[in-house]
A and B are shown apart, each in its own frame.
Chain A
Amino acid sequence: MPSKTFAGRFTSLEKIADFIAQAAQKAGFDSKSAYAIQLAVDEACSNIIEHGYAERENGKICCNYEVLENGLKIVIQDWGKSFNPNEVPKPNFEVALEDLKPRGAGLYFMKEIMDEVNFEFDNKDGNLLTMIKRK
């Protein structure tokens, strides 16, 4: 499983996107799907940096991927603060402009784009996010 570890900072997001773009290309996704996969991973990593590490400078994000017969599996590991994904509200975009709130948009995007989004939290191994996109 190809793996790469990045500093848990917003400046790593572009490098993470490049790594995931390679993965999507190896898995044979078209440009539109590859873009969507990069978006899901960017949202996941942005949440880890902003909330998990609370923008602390010494956090790490480990990205792994596996090309599947019919898609791509991405595993993202971090050691920041865990959270309960069921407690993150689903954003409501069907409101008046002035009532729009950003909370939960990242997780919503991940779930909309990927076919499987699964979180595991472990005190020893850290937080594992597994996402699968099928063709």
Chain B
Amino acid sequence: MEITTKQYKRCDLVKAVGRIDSNTAPELEKKFNEILDNGSSGVAFDMAEVDFISSRGLWVLLETQKTCKKNKGKLVLVNVSENMQQALDLAGVKHFIDIYDDLTEAIGSF
């Protein structure tokens, strides 16, 4: 999995390419933790090129959201494919994390 980040005025954008499973989720978790440890509490996660996410990956997103919320910020998801959406729906993720179809809109939500 490749992970890139970009800093915006009010949030950090994280983009991952590939699979988020039990093998790769710790890598993503580390990246989110680095961002949050640096004092940011607004994260937009671009999933346009994520082709798989397991419950372990979803857990990373939910734990990241817990930390963001504690710090009065939030995690949002953007570009979630239909396939990925079914995994998110199984865990009711949309009740805990806002999902956007458009990157500009996601970044503008901060």
Contact = CB atoms under 8 A, between A and B. Distances in A.
B52 A38 contact: yes
B8 interface: no
B23 interface: yes
Interface in A7-37: 10-11, 13-14, 17, 31-32, 35-36
B55 A100 contact: no
A24 to B, nearest CB: 12
Contact of B55 (A17, A31, A106): A106
A109 B55 CA distance: 8
Contacts of A116: none
B19 interface: yes
B66 A102 contact: no
Interface residues of B, number: 23
Interface of A: 10-11, 13-14, 17, 31-32, 35-36, 38-39, 42-43, 46, 49-50, 91, 93-94, 97-98, 100, 102, 105-106, 108-109, 112-113
B86 A36 contact: yes
- Classify the interface of chain A: helix, strand, loop or mixed: helix
A100 B62 contact: yes
Contacts of A102: 55-56, 59
Interface in B11-49: 19, 21-23
B86 A10 contact: no
B103 interface: no
Nearest to A39: B87
A94 B91 CA distance: 9
Interface in B41-88: 52, 54-56, 58-59, 62, 65-66, 69, 82-83, 86-87
